[in-house]
Amino acid sequence: MMETNRRMIWKKCSRGNVEAWDLYLNIKHDNLFSFIFENTGNGRYSYVSCTNREILRIEKDEKEDPMEMIRKWLINEEYKNLKGVPENFPEWTGGAAGYFSYDFIRFYESIPLHAEDDLGLPYVYMMKVEEVFAFDMYENQVYFIVNYGEGCKIKNSEEANWRVLEMEQVLKGCTPGIPRSNSYLHKKGNEEFSFSLNQHEFKEAVRKIREYIAAGDVFQVNLSLRQNRTTFLTDEEIYHELRLLNPSPYMGLFHFPEFQLISASPELLLRVKDGKVSTRPIAGTRKRGQNEQEDLELELELIETEKENAEHIMLVDLERNDLGKVCEFGSVKVDEWMVIEKYSHVMHLVSNVVGQLREGFDGLDALMGVFPGGTITGAPKIRTMEIIEELEPLTRGPYTGSMGLLGFDGSGIFNIIIRTLILQKNMAYVQAGAGIVIDSVPKAEYYESLKKAEALWRAVSLGEEKLSLVEREESLE
């Protein structure tokens, strides 16, 4: 058992054959709040925890400054400058897990509200996490981390030591996880989709955006549409299929009692650790090929297309400027430039922007500097958000906001909420969009938006096919 210079006890052991997802399914039980956040960008660490303790929920009518509320609720100066841990220790050791909705920006920018808020979800929803299972996939280890002291469930180091030993026993008793099921309902969801914009309405919105671009208002606008249909699958069943079908660098399942976020996000909005910050913008998309040769041809087309290159350069510049608001002068640099990342149904053009956080700024300041991500609004950011509000009939809610982990020390890892399904009761919602520029082809942008949602709907279909198989087998008994 190891103690640090702050109130935290930790231990590590071999994970054996246990995956983070197995552990999640073994410990979830009846906990109201739980999460798994997998392979957060570098492919190394996955984090799991459950809690019924402190929750922070910020609604759209909140009068206090939300960022100050979060600081008072979570950030502890004593937790900064962690010592007594080995190199490559997990970068997140407890704090809060949750999300900021896209509409959170309304607290700080005067974006007109025309769209309907039909889901009515919180602008911020976070669970405080004092106990963490951190899976190190490089070293095949699991870290058991317990924070203790004033304000925590566990008050002293002796109790924390016992809790670490209990966590180790939980891991050793872990069995292959089986997703919780509603199969007793013996029915499949209605496969008919509802759309926030039909194809004609989407094309008209593209036409309007091109008029704004021609008039010099904006350079690019990210236009999205939402699809929804019923399903009787649980969040666990959907995520189980999604992580096999479309493994992604910032994927996770965040379970809240009223709804769940099931994400296969490929995009990092922000990583903050020890004063170093990074963001990883995606701009440029192609479908995957039917074979290796077609895949290579589409990759070359994506790299060489002038439209995609110009759009990517513009959005990387936007992210550099955003980081420049909170970073030391001259420290912001692009350390990866226009690389291809491939997923099950699409491939993307990606760059990485890094910087050194300015003295006196923390992870929340950095988050506000880049929020919401420019790749999912457009440029310039505020004007594009006004146009989005005009043309999209429904508020975005969590979509294109950010979900992730915020540390007691102000560190953080946050994705952009894209390729994400919202499950609310028996209704599944998936939203996706495309970057519209002056020479965009409306039909192509419409189908690109549908393509980006495809992996999520495929995961639902696969889960329902298994449900139907169980039903057929039971009927033969």
Q: How far apart are CA 274 and CA 464, in angstroms?
A: 44
338-397: pLDDT as tens digits: 999 988 788 999 999 999 999 989 899 999 999 999 999 999 999 999 999 999 999 999
Q: How far apart are CA 319 and CA 448, in angstroms?
A: 23
Q: Residue 165: pLDDT above 70?
A: yes
- Across 44-58, 168-182, 458-472, the highest mean pLDDT is recorded for 44-58
56-81: pLDDT as tens digits: 999 999 999 999 999 999 987 666 66
Query: Which one-letter DSSP state was computed for residue 188?
Result: P
Strands (E), 198-275: 220-230, 250-255, 260-265, 268-273
- The pLDDT, as a whole number, for residue 15 is 94
* Catalytic positions: 348, 375, 399, 419, 435
pLDDT-derived band at 405, boundaries 50, 70, 90: very high
Q: Residue 272: pLDDT above 80?
A: yes
Q: How far apart are CA 323 and CA 325, in angstroms?
A: 5
More confident residue, 81 or 438: 438
Which contacts qualify for 46-50: CB closer than 8 Å, 24 or more apart? 46/20, 46/134, 46/135, 46/137, 47/20, 47/90, 47/92, 47/97, 47/132, 47/133, 47/134, 47/135, 47/405, 48/20, 48/23, 48/24, 48/132, 48/133, 48/135, 49/97, 49/129, 49/131, 49/132, 49/133
| Domain boundary assignment for the chain | 2-172+195-476
- The pLDDT, as a whole number, for residue 40 is 66
The count of other CB atoms within 10 Å of the CB of residue 367 is 23
The count of other CB atoms within 10 Å of the CB of residue 109 is 11
Nearest to 295 by CA among 342, 249, 338: 342
Q: What's the mean per-residue pLDDT of the chain?
A: 91
Percent of the chain with pLDDT over 70: 93
- The pLDDT, as a whole number, for residue 476 is 47
- The pLDDT, as a whole number, for residue 305 is 86
Q: Region 319-326: what's the mean pLDDT?
A: 94
Peptide bond just before 179 cis, omega within 30 deg: no
Q: How far apart are CA 357 and CA 350, in angstroms?
A: 22
- The pLDDT, as a whole number, for residue 333 is 97
pLDDT-derived band at 187, boundaries 50, 70, 90: low
3-state SS class at 140: coil
pLDDT-derived band at 1, boundaries 50, 70, 90: low
Element of type H or E holding 334: strand 333-342
Q: Residue 5: pLDDT above 50?
A: no
Q: How far apart are CA 102 and CA 111, in angstroms?
A: 12
Q: Residue 191: pLDDT above 90?
A: no
Q: Residue 256: pLDDT above 70?
A: yes
Tokens of 272: 């903050």
> Is 0.85 surpassed by the pTM of this model?
yes
More confident residue, 80 or 8: 8
Q: Residue 258: pLDDT above 80?
A: yes
194-225: pLDDT as tens digits: 999 999 999 999 999 999 999 999 999 999 99
pLDDT-derived band at 437, boundaries 50, 70, 90: very high
- The pLDDT, as a whole number, for residue 466 is 86
- The pLDDT, as a whole number, for residue 179 is 87
The count of other CB atoms within 10 Å of the CB of residue 43 is 12
Nearest to 144 by CA among 127, 160, 128: 160
- Supply the angle between the helices 442-476 and 235-245 in degrees, to the nearest 10: 120
- The pLDDT, as a whole number, for residue 151 is 81
Percent of the chain with pLDDT over 90: 78
Question: CATH homologous superfamily for 2-172+195-476?
Answer: Anthranilate synthase (3.60.120.10)
Q: Region 33-49: what's the mean pLDDT?
A: 89
Q: Region 285-294: what's the mean pLDDT?
A: 92
Q: Residue 183: pLDDT above 90?
A: no
Q: How far apart are CA 383 and CA 385, in angstroms?
A: 5
- The pLDDT, as a whole number, for residue 473 is 52
